[in-house]
């Protein structure tokens, strides 16, 4: 704590200057999806590289087929961490819904809080600069960093990251570290920091059931001809049992139970089925019985039907037996489930239930495995303790029903796990007009990263 205290004091004393630096980055219109802003994206990359050099990093702008990457390294003793963030931002349309120019950042009072306004304030420029400022303060006080640090800033996250995977593969040896730090996530609330330890994976598949060689009149053929809609509906209904479990053989292979102490910490957050589902007009969970709503969306796999088509769906009525019927089916994966095995198991499940005269055709729609950090990871527990020291409430370890592909890419391509620590809030309006980032998130985010680096480096 002796080494840390003056670093925290430096962060506090230099909050205004750190804000000015963030404003400089926020003024750059680095919209990655619009080719008209390609030069601005490069300007953002060069701005970041220059800023990192100013605090002693060896930093360079690396060209890709799309927008450039920023790669930086700083020597140090102890563990080696790779920090990831992205400097590109979403488009600002519709512009008329913004209260001010999206690229003229400011600090304003909003609902009793001071907030930083502007596109990218929360996603992800404000977030990534919390880490840079923590490094700046550590260098200013001690002339060094507490551990070896590498940085990777991407410029295409908001446009699908087409260059990222090839870049990681081509530069794997340079970028590999003991573990990665990712700052592109939320806190549980404004007083409770969080670490995302799990991200569900995804398999998408589309099935089409074929029967007759044309649509048939239901009066002439009904009762005699196979009806693909009925066949498809029965197959889909068979995928879940009365308790909400998925019945596809082998589906739960690789699914582990969440530790009891983690489930207790989730229960302590106070989220109920009624509070979670009430906003969308529902109240009763439809998933596996006996599971809390947070466990269902964070730690359990799912099979969901995202669209069904077949027969006549226009206005009025048409007595037809369709020649084919289709369904789009998605599976959210957890822990060690294998996406390829899940896809094949689903297809086998369908084929085994096909009656005579029917056949099935499948079209894949992407897949990615789940990401799960070991709850016993020493890095995880050090980060949890560091965050708990900074914020009013103890840090919680959460999971996510969605996905952050970079965490999986780091695990598969570089063989390293990731700590996902962010300071955004659910009301930051990312991707929408009037995006904001709480000033407390920016300030205490810097202090949090200083604490995490210090705790990680401790023997």
- Looking at the DSSP bridge assignments, the partners of residue 179 are 81
Tell me the average confidence (pLDDT) per consecutive run of 10 residues in the chain, 459 residues long. 90 98 98 98 98 98 98 96 98 96 97 96 98 98 97 96 96 97 93 92 96 95 96 98 98 95 92 93 94 95 97 94 97 95 98 97 92 88 96 92 79 92 96 97 98 92
The string of DSSP letters for 147-200 reads SEEEEEEES-GGGT-TTHHHHHHHTHHHH--SEEEE---B-SBTTB-EEEEEE-
> What pLDDT is attached to residue 207?
98
Q: Residue 209 half-sphere exposure, CB side, CA atoms within 13 Å?
A: 28
- Nearest Cα to Cα of residue 384 among 300, 262, 267, 269: 262
For tokens 């670093």, the residue is 7
The values of phi and psi at residue 279, to 5°, are -65, -25
Q: Are 106 and 100 in contact (CB under 8 A)?
A: yes
pLDDT of residue 24: 98
The predicted pLDDT at position 459 comes to 67
Torsion angle (degrees, nearest 10) of CA 144, 150, 155, 160: -150
Between 2.40.110.20, 3.40.50.261, 1.20.1050.10, 3.40.630.10, what CATH number should domain 4-199+371-457 receive?
3.40.630.10
Tokens of 11: 């962060």
Q: CATH code for 201-255+301-368? A: 3.30.70.360
Cα–Cα dist 288/295, whole Å: 10
- pLDDT tens by residue, 350-385: 999 999 999 999 999 988 889 888 888 889 999 999
Q: Tokens for 10?
A: 């430096």
How many other β-carbons are positioned within 10 Å of the β-carbon of residue 284?
7
Radius of gyration over every alpha carbon of the chain, rounded to an integer in angstroms:
25
ω into residue 264 within 30 of 0, thus cis?
A: no
Q: How far apart are the two ends of the chain, measured CA to CA in Å? A: 13
This prediction's pTM: 0.86
DSSP conformation class of 288 = S
CA–CA gap between residue 445 and residue 390 (Å, rounded): 9
Calpha distance 224→221 (Å, rounded): 6
Segment (H or E) for 306 = strand 302-310
Give helix 378-390 / helix 439-457 axis angle, nearest 10°: 140
CA angle 161/167/171 to nearest 5° reads: 150
Q: State pLDDT tens for residues 89-107.
A: 999 999 999 999 999 999 9
271 CB-contact burial (10 Å; exposed 0-12 / middle 13-18 / buried 19+) = middle
Q: Of 412, 400, 430, 374, nearest to 202 (Cα)? A: 400
Contact 202, 403 (CB under 8 A): yes
Q: For residues 203 and 334, what is the distance between their CA atoms, to the nearest angstrom?
A: 11
Q: What is the pLDDT of residue 400?
A: 79
Could you tell me if 211 and 450 are in contact, meaning their C-beta atoms sit under 8 angstroms apart? no
Dihedral (C-alpha) 114, 7, 55, 107: value to the nearest 10 degrees? 10
pLDDT the model gives residue 391:
97
Measured CA distances, 274 to 79, 107, 266, 284, 292 (Å): 44, 36, 15, 7, 11
Q: In angstroms, rounded to a whole number, what is the distance separating the alpha carbons of residues 409 and 397?
A: 21
Instruction: For helices 125-142 and 439-457, give the axis angle rounded to 10 degrees.
Output: 50
Place of tokens 């020597």: 75
Contact 113, 149 (CB under 8 A): no
| Domains of the chain by residue range | 4-199+371-457, 201-255+301-368
């Amino acid at each position: 704590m002796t080494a840390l205290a003056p670093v925290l004091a430096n962060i506090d004393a230099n909050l205004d200057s750190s804000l000015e630096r963030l404003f400089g980055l926020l003024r750059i219109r680095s919209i990655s999806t619009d080719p008209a802003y390609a030069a601005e994206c490069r300007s953002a990359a060069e701005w970041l590289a220059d800023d990192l050099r100013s605090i002693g990093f060896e930093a360079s702008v690396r060209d890709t087929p799309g927008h450039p990457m920023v790669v930086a390294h700083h020597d140090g003793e102890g563990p080696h961490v790779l920090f990831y963030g992205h400097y590109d931002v979403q488009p600002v349309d519709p512009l008329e819904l913004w209260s001010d120019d999206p690229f003229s950042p400011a600090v304003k009072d909003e609902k009793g809080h001071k907030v930083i306004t502007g596109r990218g304030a929360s996603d992800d420029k404000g977030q990534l600069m919390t880490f840079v400022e923590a490094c700046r303060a550590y260098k200013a006080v001690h002339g060094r960093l507490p551990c070896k640090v590498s940085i990777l800033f991407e410029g295409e996250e908001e446009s699908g990251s087409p260059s990222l995977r090839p870049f990681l593969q081509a530069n794997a040896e340079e970028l590999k570290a003991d573990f990665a730090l990712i700052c592109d996530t939320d806190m549980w609330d404004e007083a409770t920091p969080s670490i995302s330890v799990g991200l569900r994976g995804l398999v998408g598949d589309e099935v089409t059931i074929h029967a007759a060689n044309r649509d048939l009149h239901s009066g002439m053929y009904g009762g005699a001809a196979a009806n693909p809609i009925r066949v498809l509906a029965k197959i889909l209904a068979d995928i879940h049992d009365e308790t909400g479990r998925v019945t596809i053989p082998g589906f739960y292979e690789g699914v582990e139970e969440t530790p009891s102490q983690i489930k207790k910490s989730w229960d302590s957050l106070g989220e109920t089925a009624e509070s979670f589902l009430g906003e969308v007009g529902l109240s009763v969970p439809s998933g596996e019985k006996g599971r809390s709503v947070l466990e269902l969306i964070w730690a359990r796999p799912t099979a969901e039907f995202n669209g069904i088509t077949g027969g006549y769906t226009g206005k009025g009525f048409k007595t037809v037996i369709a020649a084919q019927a289709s369904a789009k089916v998605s599976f959210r994966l957890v822990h060690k489930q294998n996406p390829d095995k899940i896809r094949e198991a689903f297809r086998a499940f369908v084929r085994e239930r096909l009656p005579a005269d029917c056949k099935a055709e499948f079209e894949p729609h992407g897949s990615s495995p789940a990401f799960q950090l070991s709850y016993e990871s020493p890095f995880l527990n050090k980060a949890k303790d560091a965050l708990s020291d900074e914020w009013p409430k103890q840090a919680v370890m959460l999971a996510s029903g969605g996905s952050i592909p970079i965490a999986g890419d780091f695990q598969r391509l570089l063989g390293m796990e990731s700590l996902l620590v962010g300071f955004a809030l659910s009301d930051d309006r990312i991707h929408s007009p009037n995006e904001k980032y709480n000033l407390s998130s920016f300030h205490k985010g810097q202090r949090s990263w200083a604490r995490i680096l210090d705790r990680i480096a401790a023997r």
